[in-house]
Structure 1
């Protein structure tokens, strides 16, 4: 092969590795972004879970959702700087998820997986925007009120069906998360070979408890949407905070809320473990 031809072939591979993914230098930057994103996610879930525990015992009035978590961060020394750090972490997560949508994850080229990564990138972009707005003092940092958009959706032709379908889909995602947690499928995405046997047990417990709690929370939120569609009442729709508070009004009393809240703290800790051992 001539020298010029070899140079041309090499140039054609710039920016990509043999599997069609990003070349080593960009891949390292993307890995760092992923780890920063998982760390930011962990902080928010630990704070939301802690707020929910305090709500269960009647010692907290702040919402147990992302807005409440951001309020807790803002109240700390150097809170504004910490908020911007969280926004940067979510921006990093957005870029990492977007890279998975483009290149696939660990050589995975399935269209469904890449579309899911794209959807997650859009979600984290909205979280980043809300967090940055909160840090800048120009927004609440909360998600759109589910009752507002449910009311708008119910006013559309076929709106009840649309809301019901969305509710079933959200509940389905929740059930899927819970089932995959019971199957320990989250371990497939971790570098368990680099852990001690004791650490594998700890991370497994964090992932199991945390993902089960997330599954229960999403299933409940989806069920409320379906109820809103059936009753044609947007006030039946509930966000994270209202869904968590509803658990305290079950026959199990506040203990179900405590159980789910502890699970959210576990998921936050699992996110920290993912920042360390996730296959990126």
Structure 2
């Protein structure tokens, strides 16, 4: 009996710690770090749209841009630490549940676990770049996407796995865009803390940024599906190549500029969430 009580008390304390100020600080640091990356990627994509494509519009390009700034090394380490905070926050949601009436459901916890793994990988890549900027973080995102696709296609049923993963990313992109248009993010904001001006800022950046982010996800997934169908791993695209593909449409660089501006908006939206999101 005492052992069960102690175990229950331990779980209760762990849950309170996960929902306490430390977890909140980690979440807000992570959202800020995510905002920095999207802001830089959007700016780089805007430069590509207007004829300056010296750097790739992806995470490696954003990190290289940041490293060239004053105190760049410090900023890179801070960014990596913020992303570690994001991964830990998602881990706490997977273990103890998230805010909201359905935050303790298995679906929400599984999604949080997937986000934890993703942000842990992103944090590792940022910290690896900070430790060795000359190593370029293991190569461009485009080349990494092609290499991973090629390796997966070599295993039994590899084409089906790539196609399924690509289709899942397409669906995720559509869901992201639809949720942004429906302003689903409002349910996660602190009630009563946003004045009308702040609410307009959140809506403009949340809708515009979410739609642009969803479009990029959907396009990247579609390229993966096409690579699987044609059995050509070189058709898989990372973030940079996916963004550049928008310029190859009939709307040309203007569509890329619109998507890039949307990614900038999503960066600002992430900053707004760091300030007003319920954690």
Per the alignment, residue 100 of structure 1 pairs with 93
Deviation of 1:26 (Å): 6.0
TM-score scaled by length of structure 1: 0.92
Aligned to 2:136: 140
**Do 2:29 and 2:85's aligned partners in 1 also have CA atoms closer than 8 Å?**
yes
Q: Measure, in 2, the Cα distance between the counterparts of 1:69 and 1:270.
A: 18
In structure 2, stretches of 5+ residues that fail to align are: none
Shift, 1:16, TM fit: 2.3
Would the alpha carbon gap of residues 15 and 75 (structure 1) be closer, same or farther in structure 2, given more than 3 Å must change? same
Which of 114, 119, 122 is matched with 2:117 structurally? 122
The CA deviation string for residues 169-207 of structure 1, in whole angstroms up to 9 with x for no partner, is: 100000011111111101111114201012111101110
RMSD: 1.9
Match of 1:74 among 57, 60, 67: 67
For this pair of structures, how many residues does the alignment match? 271
Shift of 1:25: 8.3
**Corresponding residue SS for 1:252:** coil
Residue number in structure 2 paired with 1:84 = 77
Report the Cα distance in structure 2 between the residues aligned to 1:192 and 1:203, rounded to whole angstroms: 13
TM-score, normalised via structure 2 length: 0.92
SS of residue matched to 2:210: helix
Aligned with 2:12 (options 10, 13, 16): 16
Q: Distance in 1 between matches of 2:165 and 2:19?
A: 37
| Rg (Cα) greater in structure | 1
Q: Is the 8 A contact 1:224 1:238 kept in 2?
A: yes
Residue 59 (structure 1) shift: 1.6
Q: Does 1:202 align with 2:201?
A: yes
SS in 2 for 1:145: helix
Q: Tell me which stretches of 4 or more aligned residues in structure 1 moved more than 2 Å.
A: 8-17, 138-144
Q: Which residue of 2 aligns with 1:185?
A: 184
CA shift, 1:244, in A, is 0.1
Gap regions ≥5 residues in structure 1: none
User: 1:113 matched to which residue of 2?
Assistant: 108
The aligned residue for residue 171 of structure 1 is 170
Structure 1 residue 140: Cα displacement? 2.3
Whole-angstrom distance in 1 between the partners of 2:17 and 2:60? 37
Distance 1:12 1:68, change over 3 A: same
Task: Tell me the equivalent position of 1:214.
Answer: 213
- CA distance in 1: counterparts of 2:226 and 2:169, whole angstroms: 13
Q: 1:28 to 1:10 in 2, by over 3 A?
A: farther
